[in-house]
Copies of this chain bind each other. A is one copy, B any other.
Amino acid sequence: MDLPSIAMQRAVEQLSHLPGVGKRSALRYAMHLMNMSDSDVRDFADAVLRLKSDVHHCHICHNLSDSDTCTICASSKRQRGVICVVENVQEVMAIENTQQYRGLYHVLGGVISPIDGVGIHDLTIDALIERVRNGQPDPVDEVILALPTTMEGDTTNFYLHKQLAPLGVKITTLARGVAIGDNLEYTDEITLGRSILNRVPFGG
């Protein structure tokens, strides 16, 4: 697509760097931005720039934070002996939205994936192990592994288990099974098969 303005062309190129955005959507975004007021566009650009300058990672759990320690790690209302290990910040938000979990988190920043060139030292695995070993800032009783059920997630789980088990901490993982409200007819075979094998007492 040949754009009649170089500035427009450049904006479309930049916007199409966003994940899942092609040239056509980028053009729609650019046209929309162009029709916004000067001050609105400045606010937009400023909010984008502040993503780099103002958003930090918590030094304890590596969750996103406006300061050095995130609100979850800083809270006195959380169960400080339980750490839920997740791949990314999005999973922290998903679990927080359930309002069922009162422990802390540890964000790995990915999972071990040799194909993508992600090794142990690209993730915050060492920091997690130190956190459990030293009991800093708090002694850890339980580590919940909440990584994706992919080959990479399983590899990471396996490695974490091997490293954490000798430290005497309880290691758990999320219950897997047919989702609440799901129709058995449309549940994938692996989930259904496992949920029959791992059946639980009725009313339990």
Contacts and interface: CB of A to CB of B under 8 A. Distances in A.
Nearest to A37: B52
A68 to B, nearest CB: 12
Nearest to A105: B4
Contacts of A7: 47, 50-51, 53-55, 66
Interface stretch (A85-93, A112-120, A121-129, A152-160): A85-93
Contacts of A171: none
A34 B8 contact: no
B48 A4 contact: no
A162 interface: no
Majority SS at the chain A contact face = helix
A44 interface: yes
Interface string A65-99: 11000111000000000000000111011001100
Contacts of A4: 63-65, 70-72, 89, 92-93
Given A4-B63, A28-B20, A63-B4, A51 B41 contact: yes
Interface string A28-58: 1111111010101111111111111111100
**Chain A residues touching B, range:** 35 or more
B11 A48 contact: yes
A185 interface: no
A19 B45 contact: no
Given A55-B34, A66-B6, A93-B1, A48 B47 contact: no
> Which 3 pairs across A and B sit closest by C-beta, in order of nearness?
A7-B54, A14-B47, A45-B45
